[in-house]
Amino acid sequence: MAQKIAIVGGYGEMGRWFERFFTERGFDVTLVGRSSRVHYGDYDIVIIAVPIEATCEVIAHVAPQLKKGALLFDLTSVKRQPVKQMLTSAPQNVELVSVHPLFGPSMPDMEGQTIIVAPVRGDKGRRFLIDLFERAGAHVEELSPDEHDHLMSVIQGLTHFGYIAMGATLEALNFDIKRSRRFMSPVYEIFIDFIGRILGQNPRLYAAIQMNTDRSVHEAFLAQSAALIDTINARDADAFIATMKRAARHFGDAEPALKRSNKLIMASIKEVADFKRSIGSVRGLRNVYTGAVHIGVVKHASPHAVVLEEGSRETTLKTENVQLMSEDDVRRHRLARGERHRDFSVVLPEGANPETVARLLTTVSDVTHTAIIDEYPPRRSHTFRVSTFADGDVGQLQHEVVSLLVGIGCVLR
């Protein structure tokens, strides 16, 4: 029997994400909302996926109801208070873990993502989650609740604060971001995209993160910003340079960071170049978020959009949503849609090997396979069945096959 999981706050974005994650792995998942009436003692695993400000209150309500051996864990981005509430409210025989996925619900899966696990009580639940996440391709790190909150005050609190402040500054300046993209280098466009990435998230979540960030982090940021402004106003280039050099020395891996960011920039440039090189050819594009596949002739490509001719219609796809499929993936997808066939009866030249002709026909574009379906040895006459994709251009196929057969000396019957 599948283990039963209740996701409290399951109708939110991350709750839905983990519903899919656990359902795909064979668990029996129940989503619990505000109006749900459930008996938590019926579940093997209970996940708390509510907003940060409601987490402790929900844990206090849910935890006392859990059965012996059950596993309770939360998904919040702060740990001290939720962990304290778990230890206060949950029976001693309930396993406790605190989990922080460092990704949002827009990610299609855990592959390559980082998840922080804070052990609280019991080893079985901790090992179960770490094994499950690692098998899904995630990178798992273990931290104590105190160390987690200290690190996240900078990793999330400071970086989000900076991005949101820059976004608010662009708004205050009435800066035309869309028009400015025409003049941006790839590195600055990526930087602007990261600002947009944060601004496009759930503002209530980010407000909660900032309210739970150590005040000293904000104060240090504002103090350093004020000091830089004073240096600039004083036109003291030496002081500015000294500040930047000190920061670089503390940063430590500025040069490796440059190389890593160069790889990111080059990957972005290469993707657009690949789209442009595909113009005029049949390519497949897969939506990285929905999995939807589009196959057609690439008519136009730019850093922002790719236009595909799919049969008799044109489809415009945003480049940020799609990736090029490999030729093998395109072939498998097209074959899954079915095949069509055309038969060609010819008299072969003297001494020609029909098996060799059949293999030669497979070199014609969009031919999936060929077969000899009839032959009349006295006249050296053979019928070849040529198969192609159901969505292929049969007229073009016929023209190319006939041209090849006539070109090698065959006579059409």
- Rounded to two decimals, the pTM is 0.68
Residue 58 pLDDT greater than 80, yes or no: yes
Both 134 and 65 in one domain: the answer is yes
At residue 169, does pLDDT exceed 80? Answer: yes
**Model pLDDT, residue 41:** 94
Side-chain half-sphere CA neighbours of 154 within 13 A? 5
Residue 264 has a pLDDT of 82
Is a pLDDT exceeding 80 seen at residue 378? Answer: no
Q: Which of 90, 122, 143 is the last residue of a domain?
A: 143
The amino acid at 49: A
Q: Predicted confidence band at 10 (pLDDT cuts at 50, 70, 90)? A: confident
**Do 342 and 317 belong to one domain?**
no
In whole angstroms, give the CA distance from residue 147 to residue 139.
18
359 found inside a domain? yes
Q: Does residue 405 carry a pLDDT above 80?
A: yes
**Predicted local confidence at residue 9, as pLDDT:** 92
Residue 307, exposed/middle/buried by CB under 10 A (0-12, 13-18, 19+)?
A: middle
264 lies in some domain? no
* DSSP string across 363-390: TSTTEEEEEEEEEEGGGTEEEEEEEEET
288 and 398: one domain? no
Q: What per-residue confidence (pLDDT) applies to 348?
A: 92
Residue 227 shares a structural domain with residue 177: yes
The answer as to whether 157 is a domain residue is yes
What is the distance, to the nearest Å, from the Cα of residue 358 to the centroid of all Cα atoms in its chain?
A: 43
Query: Quick one: tokens of 241?
Result: 């340079």
Q: Which residues contact 143 (CB under 8 A, 6 or more apart)?
A: 116, 117, 118, 151
User: Whole-angstrom Cα distance, residue 4 to residue 177?
Assistant: 48
pLDDT tens column, 122-156: 999 999 999 999 999 999 999 999 999 999 999 99
Task: Establish if 79 belongs to a structural domain.
Answer: yes
For residue 265, is it within any domain? no
Of 14, 20, 25, the C-alpha closest to 48 is: 14
Let me know: does 301 contact 278? Beta carbons within 8 Å.
yes
Looking at the fold, whether 119 and 235 belong to one and the same domain comes out as no
pLDDT for 135 equals: 97
User: Domain range spanning residue 287?
Assistant: 274-333
pLDDT of residue 131: 97
CA dihedral 195, 253, 256, 159 (to 10 degrees): -10
SS3 95: strand
- Range 355-365 burial, b when 16+ CB lie within 10 A, else e: eebbeebeebe
Looking at residue 331, what is its pLDDT? 86
| Domain membership flag for residue 263 | no
pLDDT per position as a tens digit, 74-102 = 999 999 999 999 999 999 999 999 999 99
**What's the token pair of residue 273?**
């170049």
Which of 110, 143, 176 lies at the terminal end of a domain, its last residue? 143
pLDDT at 1: 66
Residues 114 and 204 in one domain: no
d(CA 78, CA 151): 10
Q: In what order do the strands lie in the sheet with 381-389?
A: 367-376, 381-389, 339-347, 411-412
Note whether 302 and 171 are same-domain residues.
no
Asked, for residue 260, whether it belongs to a domain, the answer is no
Domain match, 135 and 189 both: no
- Nearby residues of 312 by Cβ (< 8 Å), 6 or more positions away: none
Residues 261, 254: Cα–Cα separation, whole Å: 10
CA distances from 226 to 102, 158, 223, 239, 373 (A): 31, 16, 5, 14, 83
Q: What is the rounded CA–CA span in Å between residue 21 and residue 15?
A: 10
Examine the pLDDT at 26 and tell me if it is beyond 90.
yes
- The pLDDT assigned to 379 comes to 65
Given a contact cutoff of 8 angstroms between Cβ atoms, the answer to whether 120 and 87 are in contact is yes
**How much of the chain, in percent, has pLDDT values that exceed 70?**
99
How many CA within 13 A on the CB side of residue 220? Answer: 10
CA atoms within 13 A on the CB side of 334: 26
Share of the chain above pLDDT 90, in %: 66
Domain boundary among 112, 143, 174: 143
Mean pLDDT of 313-327: 89
Count of domains observed in the chain: 4
| pLDDT given at position 413 | 84
Look over the chain and give the mean of its residue pLDDT values, rounded to a whole number: 92
Answer whether residue 261 is part of any domain. Answer: no
Q: Work out the average pLDDT over 290-310.
A: 89
